Amino acid sequence: MRWLFKLIDRHAEHGVRQMAHRHGRRSLLARLGVALVGGAVLPMLPFDRSGQSSGAAHAAEPSPRKAAKPDPREDPLQCEYWRYCAFDGYLCTCCGGSLTQCPPGTEASKVSWIGTCLNPQDGRQYLVSYNDCCGKGSCGECLCNNNERERPGYRLGVHNDINWCMANTSPMFHCTTAIIAGVA
């Protein structure tokens, strides 16, 4: 049995010596040195603290999509809406009516001013009838004054600064609609 213990002892001693040889004091000191120098130098390296760096790492990231800006030419609540190119008055869309309907308590003017406007969606020119809504005092909301192809007031037929309620029972002007009357 003794011989077995001796054999185990010798193997263990051999293993320990080999390990000590591989990971000796010098190796330990060398690793310690690397760790110390690395720890001291690393914080001195320049790096971007702004959070806005545009490096390669960021190039791989999908950029957040900017929300598409709404086109005012498509919004009937804006003076820039395409049908309003020759509009002069208060938008009925802001006054309880719509593009084609007068607000409750008012009636469409019997005569109107016709403009010609470009529809950006199909690139065609449309005839737009600007009928005033009559029978109530002015709405006062969303005043728009666009004058595409308008001509001076001495030519009544080509002037849009007119109260088109003049032919109605009540000449009181409230707001203006923009009705498609045909393709130019």
When the beta carbons of 96 and 109 are compared against ligand ABN, the nearer one is 109
Tokens of 39: 């720890």
CB of 173 to ligand ABN, least distance (A): 4
CB of 176 to ligand ABN, least distance (A): 5
Q: Which residues contact 165 (CB under 8 A, 6 or more apart)?
A: 109, 132, 134, 135, 171, 172, 173
Asked if 88 touches ligand ABN (CB under 6 A), the answer is: yes
Asked if 150 touches ligand ABN (CB under 6 A), the answer is: no
Determine whether 164 is an active site residue. no
CB of 130 to ligand ABN, least distance (A): 6
Which parts of the chain fold into alpha helices (H)? 2-22, 25-41, 56-59
- The neighbouring-strand residues paired with 129 are 114, 179
Tokens of 67: 């929300």
DSSP code, position 179: E
Among 78, 101, 146, 163, binds ligand ABN (CB under 6 A): 163
Question: Per CB under 6 A, which region of 18-26, 32-40, 57-65, 162-170 contacts ligand ABN?
Answer: 162-170
Asked if 82 touches ligand ABN (CB under 6 A), the answer is: no
Helix/strand/coil for 153: coil
Kindly list the residues in this chain that would bind ligand ABN in the complex (CB under 6 A).
Answer: 88-89, 132, 161-164, 173, 176
